[in-house]
Amino acid sequence: LAKTTQPISMDSYEGQEVNITCSHNNIATNDYITWYQQFPSQGPRFIIQGYKTKVTNEVASLFIPADRKSSTLSLPRVSLSDTAVYYCLVGYYTGTASKLTFGTGTRLQVTL
C-alpha cells in the first residue's frame, strides 16, 4: 500500500479556499486516491475519490497531476464546521474490499 505524506496541521479563516496537498510517490497503477473527513469522536466520512486529472462534487474538488505522485484536496469557502482532520488514502480494488491504511492526516482549524 502506498505511503502518504500530508501536512500535520493547517489554519484558515472562514470563507477562504483551503488546499491540502498529499504526497504519494510510490502510488501503483491500480491505486485510487480517496479523501476522508473526521470530526472528534466520529468515524471518518467519505469526501471524494479520484484516479487522475480533476474530480469535483458538491463539497470539494480533487486535483491529481499527470504523474499521480501527489493530489490536492480543495475545499471552497470553508466554514467553522469544516474544522476536522482530513485523511488522504491510496488504495486499490481487490475484488471484494480494499484495506485502507490511514496516514497522519491534516488537522484543519477554521476560525472567524
The residue range among 20-28, 30-38, 53-61, 63-71 that interacts with other proteins, by the rule CB under 8 A, is 30-38
Q: How many residues lie near other proteins (CB under 8 A)?
A: 25
Is the CB of 9 or the CB of 25 nearer to other proteins? 9
* 105 is a site residue for other proteins (CB under 8 A): yes
76-to-9, 16, 36 alpha-carbon distances in Å: 18, 7, 16
Which parts of 59-98 interact with other proteins (CB under 8 A)? 87, 92-94, 96-98
The residue range among 13-21, 36-44, 59-67, 68-76 that interacts with other proteins, by the rule CB under 8 A, is 36-44
* Among the listed residues 29, 43, 58, 112, the single contact to other proteins using CB under 8 A: 43
**Which of left, alpha, beta for 24 (phi over 0: left; psi -120 to 50: alpha)?**
beta
Spatial distance between the Cα atoms of 15 and 23, rounded to a whole number of angstroms: 26
Spatial distance between the Cα atoms of 2 and 91, rounded to a whole number of angstroms: 7
* Among the listed residues 49, 61, 72, 74, the single contact to other proteins using CB under 8 A: 49
Cell triple for 82: 469544516
User: Comparing C-alpha atoms, which of 8, 2, 6 is closest to residue 23?
Assistant: 6
What is the binding site for other proteins (CB under 8 A)? 32, 34, 36, 41-46, 49, 51, 87, 92-94, 96-105
